[in-house]
Structure 1
Amino acid sequence: MFSENYSVCLNDDGSARELERNGPVVTYKAIGYDSGRVVAMQLIPLASIDEVDRVRFEENARAAQKLDDSNIARVFDVGIKDDHLVFVTEYLEGETAEAWIDEHGPMPADAVLRIGLQVMNALTAAANHSLTDRSIQPANLMILPGAASDGGWPRVKLLNFGLAGLKVRSDGDEIRELVPSMPSQFASPEQLENRPVDFRSDIFSLGAAMWFLLTGAAPPAAAESGPRLSPSAVALPRFVRNLVSQMLRTNPEERPQDPAAFAEKIHASLQKAERQTAFTRSFGP
């Protein structure tokens, strides 16, 4: 299946081109024979993963294959070949939002709203398939080269949709996370309590991620009316604070109830933030 459909790229010396090595797991750069697209092909030794985890990962990966959205990293193939679980995804170059914040500090409000809009569009597409991500966090937001569809910065894709928490064992029985698990500070209350979740849980996690991007810190514990404002958050425009606070309500019934309608609300907030930025710059030197 995989050797017939994909060709691993080679280095100048003829060796296979590795993108990443994580314990026993190796990711190669490859090209699809029929599509001609560049992909990332991950080879996971079956002996390194729990059978129950493997089955769940395959099921979630096949569900993610249904999603064809410009803001979700595509899953192309998953299956077993020669004692390995093979996982083929879209090849991407960029850096995570988490890494960007570590290097540069908090993002401008318009950039964060643009990220929020792109992720909400992705969640709307997923909701049409009754799918939830359950792992929206800065480490799973990839900032890509180039501009977003509206011409602004940044352009992002949501990584590892629905695939969080897969662990592998190395030869020395060291346990490594292959896909980042969900940090508690970005998980909704219902997710932390192992209650049923829907897209409103993802909206909470997106709100927590946006808070992090705006302030450089995870939100404090959410209260019924939303999180307490930190000094860095107080400096944000009120309409941005109100938007994110609504996403972070403890009760999912008090969060946005329609992903498409809420995407429009974020879009309106983005336009307002851009107008404010343009107005401020008009009085600059």
Structure 2
Amino acid sequence: MPETGARLADMPQLKLGRYEIAAEIGRGAMGTVYKAHDPLIERTVALKTIRLDLSHQAHQVFEERFYREAKSAGRLNHPNIVTIYDVGETDGSAYIAMEYLQGESLDTLLDNHIRLPIERIAHITLQIANGLAYAHQHGVIHRDVKPANIILMRRGRVVKITDFGIAQIPTSAQTGDGALLGSPRYMSPEQVQGRIVDGRSDVFSLGVVLYEMLTGRTPFTGDDLSTILYNIMNFEPAPPSSVNQDVPHAFDRIVMRALSKQPAGRYPTARDMATDLRALRGVTPMVVQPVNPAPDTPATLLARTRQTDKAMLRTLLSMISLGIATVAVLAMIALLVSSDASHAPPVTHYIRAIIAVPAPIASPSQSAAQKFISVPADRVQTVKNNQPNRIAIAALDKKIQALKIKRAELLAKFTELHPDVVIATLQIKRLEKEKRKLAREKG
């Protein structure tokens, strides 16, 4: 950890366990970080303390998670991860002894509005991705990737990630008012919803950090916790190059993929993200895997529908040369150019219905065109009949999302066993059950 605080030479010698405190490095919501000396092996360490104010039962939960997370993180041995040496408890505090670093945190640079060169940003992000990839490969998820947990040494030529697993440890400091205000901006949507997370959650958080380095601001902002959480769930940020014109467009594709709302739309692993970042070294032209498309707006949906319609019409026109249903082709063209086309279903609905559903067995006298056109109307009528269910499901989705945001806010103040949290959880489960029932009826 970097040293930023005053020395304690004039104070009586302080000790935590066997560690002799030399200087205070910094303070946070959870506790204090010190520069300390380990007399057993004559080594300087960073000593992170965690204040405890827990009931007996809560203390048992803390100990279980604290030692489990510390043990997992302590097994990590990678040049981009801060090494953990020891953990322990004393005098109402827990502590973690870790590698002492001469450097500064990334948030210090960002808070001072220091704009990093594009190539340096790519280099820093690549090192973070490499460290996360190694941790994920060994079954360790960080859960709190943010600038304060990223240490830059030698002006960013060497990057270290710290505080693996700390976000999982329950302490009273994490349940106080405002205790989470430093981290929500970097949370993934699944963290906001209280779902189980995997390495793709860290990929999302790294995408937020990269966005902030490129633009000088985080993609999801707000005046209060509720607004920030809502924006993480619903807001699609502008590509970095539209905020900072010095950012190459190649970064847009990487950032926007990492920030996909759905984990399946992101990079499958941090290693995959590192591969694309490695191609950016020197900011050279690169080929990036396609970004999962953003949710459709009416304009993009109409444009893509028209493109698909044209492609499908070209297919039908080619069928004419094979002697297939000239009348059917003309019928499709008539639908496409009808005077009320703005309200009619796209021609692809009819064509796909024709392709997917076999026509009824016709008498020998029934024409090919009659057999070809007889099916779509039934399919379209079925879609119309399902409209009320779709509206009801969409309404339930909004209620569920609002409740999940409310639950996340409550969890910032209380434990999962608090009555308000329990009630919100039960309400979410009830609405999700109702949604599944409607979905089955729709099917």
Question: The TM-score by the shorter chain falls in which range?
Answer: 0.7 to 0.9
Secondary structure of the 1:104 match is coil
Contact 1:222 1:228 in 2 (8 A): no
Report the 3-state secondary structure (helix = DSSP H, G, I; strand = E; otherwise coil) of the residue aligned with 1:271.
coil
Q: Which position in structure 1 is the counterpart of 2:44?
A: 38
Counterpart check, 1:161 vs 2:144: no
Q: CA deviation at 1:133?
A: 0.5
Instruction: Report the Cα offset of residue 63 of structure 1.
Output: 1.5
For the 8 Å contact 1:167–1:176, the answer to whether it is kept is no
Deviation, structure 1 residue 99:
1.3
Which one has the bigger helix percentage? 2
CA 47–32 in structure 1, closer or farther in 2 if over 3 Å, else same? same
1:105-147 Cα deviation digits (max 9, x unpaired): 3322212111111111111111121111111111211122x26
Bigger Rg, which one: 2
Deviation at 1:81?
Answer: 4.0
Aligned equivalent of 1:18, options 14, 17, 23: 23
Residue type of the alignment partner of 2:199: F
User: Matched residues in 2 for 1:141 and 1:21: separation?
Assistant: 14
**Aligned residue type for 2:190:** E
Structure 1 unaligned segments of length 5 or more: list them: 1-8, 148-152, 276-285
SS at 1:200 equivalent: helix
1:102 aligns with 2:92: no
Q: Which residue of 1 aligns with 2:382?
A: none
Distance 1:99 1:28, change over 3 A: closer
Higher relative contact order (CA 8 A, sep 6+): 1
Matching of residues 36-185 of structure 1 within 5 Å: 36-44=42-50, 46-47=52-53, 51=59, 52-81=61-90, 84-144=93-153, 146=154, 153-164=156-167, 167=171, 183-185=183-185
Change (3 A) 1:107 1:10: closer
Among 262, 271, 279, which residue is 1:268 paired with? 279
Counterpart of 1:255 in structure 2: which amino acid?
Answer: R
In structure 2, how many angstroms separate the alpha carbons of the residues matched to 1:157 and 1:69? Answer: 9
TM-score of the pair, normalised by structure 2: 0.50
TM superposition shift of 1:62: 1.8
Q: Which moved more, 1:211-220 or 1:43-52?
A: 43-52
Query: Which sits farther off after the overlay, 213-222 or 12-21?
Result: 12-21
Residues 49-76 of structure 1, C-alpha deviation per residue, up to 9 Å, x if partnerless? 8513444233212211111111111211
Residue of structure 2 in register with 1:217 after alignment: 217
Deviation at 1:227, TM superposition (A): 2.8
Give matches, 1:183-202, under 5 Å: 183-202=183-202
State whether structure 2 residue 35 is matched by structure 1 residue 29: yes
In 2, are the aligned partners of 1:109 and 1:240 still within 8 Å (CA)? Answer: no
Paired amino acid for 2:283: K
